[in-house]
Amino acid sequence: MILFRNVSKNFGSNVGLANASVHINKGDFVFLVGPSGAGKTTFIRLILKEIDPDKGRITLAGKDITHLSRREIPALRQKIGMVFQDFRLLEKKTVFENVAFAMEIHNAKRRDIKKQVMYVLDLVGIADKKDRYPNELSAGEQQRVGIARAIVNNPRVLICDEPTGNLDPVTAMEIMDLLDKINLRGTTILMVTHAKDIVDKMNKRVVAIENGRIVRDEEGQYGLDTEGDFYDGRDVEVDNYVF
């Protein structure tokens, strides 16, 4: 679904990503972990085509997106759902309108919008609050709205940037259960996080980045030792994947 092949990106003298290769399959649930400034954000920005790589190739859903023209970017982003740490809901729109907005952008019919929005609001468990405004909701509820908006157009990939960062542990786990449920429906999920407890509990594939390099890529635990470093730091050979 997402394929990075020897991708490098520098920002002046700062390394964003260095020769990174990652292959995320359709239906995967992958955690992207690493210290601040390691290159996680660069990784996501490359997928969203906010920036172009200096070297390497990026493929999404079978399409080479290494270099896209400005006109092609909206179509790409329609295949990707984004969930943010700060939810990024529109304060002046109700829950329903916030989610419907994502469909309006793609010229969906009014009738389809109503049906689909109610379906996803029900899925994320917030249908009864559809007429509330974001500031009338708890943080967990707001994130549910954010997730509903991200999946309402049935994206192939859901990218979650620290989705539990602003939530208490219990609410965070509820959100993780919801994401797991969405993943089971077949949506590929790439989640950036610092939350060790969540990663350990979920027991999914973990891709660790440090100084722009992929230092670990395997199923299981978060992998930080007590000093905060990744425990082995070995490079992962992903070139053996059959592309």
Partner 1 sequence: MFSRLGYNIRQAFAQIWRNKAMSFTAVLAITAMMLVLGIFFVAFVNVDLFANVIQQDYNVVEVYLDDSVAEEDLPEVEQALTDIGGVERLEYRSKEDALEIMKNRWGENGYLLDNLETNPLPNSYLVYVTEKSDADRLSVEARDIPGVTDVTYYQDTVDKLSKITHFIQIGSVVVMAFLVIVSVIVVANTIKLTVFNRSKEIGIMKYLGATDWFVRSPFIVEGIIIGALAAGISAGLMYLLYSKLTDVIGPDILRVLSVPVVPVNYMIYNLLIIFMALGVGIGTCGSIVSIRRFLDK
Q: Which residues bind partner 1 (CB under 8 A)?
A: 48, 70-71, 74-78, 80, 82, 88, 90, 101-102, 104-107, 149, 153
Residue number, 106 or 201, with CB nearest to partner 1: 106
Residue number, 96 or 230, with CB nearest to partner 1: 96
Tokens for 243, please give them: 């592309």
- In the block, residue with structure tokens 């994947």: 241
CB 58 within 8 A of CB 65: yes
Tokens for 221, please give them: 């635990």
- Neighbouring C-alpha atoms within 13 Å toward the C-beta of 164: 22
Residue number, 86 or 180, with CB nearest to partner 1: 86
Residue number, 60 or 238, with CB nearest to partner 1: 60
**d(Cα 202, Cα 184) in Å, to the nearest integer?**
13
Convert 221-237 to b/e letters by CB count within 10 Å (16 or more is b): ebbbeeeeebeeeeebe
Nearest distance, CB of residue 78 and partner 1, angstroms: 4
Residue number, 82 or 137, with CB nearest to partner 1: 82
Residue number, 78 or 211, with CB nearest to partner 1: 78
Residue number, 154 or 203, with CB nearest to partner 1: 154
Nearest distance, CB of residue 22 and partner 1, angstroms: 22
Nearest distance, CB of residue 133 and partner 1, angstroms: 15
Q: What is the three-class DSSP state of 140?
A: helix
Nearest distance, CB of residue 197 and partner 1, angstroms: 28
Nearest distance, CB of residue 93 and partner 1, angstroms: 9
Nearest distance, CB of residue 225 and partner 1, angstroms: 35
Nearest distance, CB of residue 229 and partner 1, angstroms: 33
Residue 51 identity (one-letter amino acid):
I
Residue 34, by phi and psi: left (phi above 0), alpha (psi -120 to 50) or beta?
A: left
135-142's contacts with Cβ under 8 Å and 24+ in sequence apart are 135/91, 137/95, 138/171, 139/87, 139/166, 139/167, 139/168, 139/171, 140/167, 140/168, 140/171, 140/174, 140/175, 142/87, 142/89
